[in-house]
Each structure stands twice: as C-alpha cells, then as structure tokens.
Structure 1
Amino acid sequence: MVRNSRYMVASDAENEILGLKYFGPKSKDPLSLVLMLSGLNPSAPANMYSFSIIASLFVPKDAWIAVGNTDTMNEWGKDYIKYDIRSDGFFSYPKSPNLVLGVTNPVSGKIILAPILFNGKSTNYGLADVIIHEGKHFLNWKNGVFQGTHPMMIALDEVSAYLAAGEWTGVIGSGIEDFIGTIVKYMLNFK
C-alpha cells in the first residue's frame, strides 16, 4: 500500500496535529485512525449511533444491513436461511457449533449483525471489523465472485473477507486458518 504523504504523516495523530488524542496501541492502525477522524473513540462501546457512522464509511450504499432481531432476521432470511439469536446475543447456525457475529445472506447479499455487538462491552473497533468483513462478502456477492455452496468457494470468500478486514486492522483474524486449511486440502486432492 502506497501512502501519499501530502495527506497525512503517520505521527500526525500522536502529535495532535489533527486535534486527536492518542487512544492507545490500536490507534496506529488505519481503522482506529478513520474511526477517530469520524468522531468515534475506537475503544468506546458500540451503539446504534456509531453503527450508523461505521456503516456509512464501510458499507456500500446499495447494501442492506441491520442488527438481528425477530423482524430483521425474518426479512434477512426469507425462510430459506435459519440462524438463531442465542440468549447471549451471538448468532448460531443449527448445522455448526460456531458462534457468529455477522452473516451475509448468500442469496440476497443482505448483511445481518449479531446483537452482542451492541451489549455495551463490544467496541466501535470490533463493530467496524465485523462490518468490514461482512461488507467484503457483500461486494463478492454483488460481483459474483466466490459464490455457491462448494467448500472451495466458501473458503475463498471467507479468506477474502478476513484479508479485507486485516488491511484495516493490521491483524488478520485467526478464523482465517480453517478456511486456508480447506483450500490447501482441496488443492492437495486436486487431480
């Protein structure tokens, strides 16, 4: 990634040239800086106000995105995809033991976020990370890339979403490992 120095020097935020205060070690990554420039403290609890700002920054204007509740889950799933909202606010899929923070509908491209992201403990930073990840799934869906139910397509779609979020956070989520493993196994068995 090439940075154009006429817009900002990396130390500007630390030196308060932009009127920003240093929020800790995460403030050196691009995501923290963008959140701060947007008036959000990356470490503050996520709420619907910060959700609206973060979504306007990282979700394409033509995407449908909502927080999961009975009504939005019905609109999102349309009776052909069934995720449950657990009592702790995570999503769960009956066929998988994994807990989920966000899901992009593979048929409609609609994005739904788990209520736990708004429990007062989840941060703006964490919410933005999930939104960037799901936003990449939406873009893949919109462009017809990595679609279908083949395990290789699912794995490639997930890897691309983890990489997109990692470009902003500076850290690639550990969940990518299972999907890279799927790709490697597939390639080793490919004849």
Structure 2
Amino acid sequence: MKILLLCLKAFETMEFSPFIDIMGWAHDDFNCDIHVDICGFNPKIMSTFGVTITADILIDNVDVNNYDALAIPGGFEEYGFYTEAYHDKTLNLIRSFYSQHKPIASVCVAAFPLAKSGILNKKKATTYHLRGGYKRKELEKFGVILGEEWLAIDDNIITSSCPRTAPDVAFRLLELLTSTEKAAEVKKAMGYQ
C-alpha cells in the first residue's frame, strides 16, 4: 500500500511527522506493507518554521492509480500555505483520489483545500477551532456540516481541528488501510494506549 503525503508550501512539521513515524512503525515492526511518498510542487518543500524536506515525487508526476490514500498536513496562511493549497493542481489531485473512493486524511486547516475542491459539500468535517472559531465559520461557507469533534470522519474523509490531532488522524488512516486490530497494536507499541 502507498500513501501520498502532500506537503504544501508552509506545511506544519508536527502535522507531517506522525504520518512518517506511525506508518514507519507499522511497516518495520508490524509487517504492514505500507509506504509513504512525500509529494510537493518542488523538489524542496519549506515548512512554516523553516524546516526543508525533500519530495519523493512532484505533484505533476503523480498517478493516483499508484496510491491507496492521500494525506495532507495543514500549514500557516501567513507563510503562504494557501498559495499551493488552493492551486488547481492540488484541487484536481484531491478530486482524483475522491473519485476513486480512496481515503483522504487532512490535519487542521488542510480541510480547506478539501472543501475548496468540492468534496466536503454536505459532508461532516472540522478544522482549526481556536481564535473565536473563525476558521470553522469559514469552512462552513463551503457547504460543510461542522462537526464538534476533534476528529470528523465522513465516508472516507478524515478532518481534524489542530496540530495535536495529527497522530489521531494518522492512526485512523492506518486503521482504514489495514485493520482496527493492527492500528491498535501500533498505537500501543508507540505509547498511545
């Protein structure tokens, strides 16, 4: 199984790393045939706070048929997150995964490109919850049914409210790709239970 981890300009490292670590534990210690490819617009991707990572594949070269799921960490608007988050390439990639009914997992404000793509219309979702809830009100304008939970799951789409939820999102994605039992084993080994 392969997960495409789409890291957009100004992604948050705390929202990115759980996908790498949790899937790595599942692969190395629990015999899950699961791999993560980091995807970006450019070979080098700069995070919100200046950490640069290297893409395994560029967004222009992605064949959705080669992947089983899409994961997207959120990022900071002030550092330019929405420049790539709202780009047609991102929106079309999201639509392609959705049209093939493949799991899509987002953390925090990464719910916004999902919403802008149209796949969250009339679906339950959540996003960043503090600062007066203005981000949640913004998300609702896309036709989203707001969930009060830290994590909202509707069909094959996972959204969450803040950086703290990134491991929860990654574990839930692992569960969708393997089994509840396997995800629980990895969770326990990593000290989450």
Short-chain TM bin: 0.3 to 0.5
TM-score by length of structure 2 reads: 0.34
TM-score, normalised on structure 1?
A: 0.34
Name the structure where strand makes up a greater proportion of residues: 2
| Structure with greater Cα Rg | 1
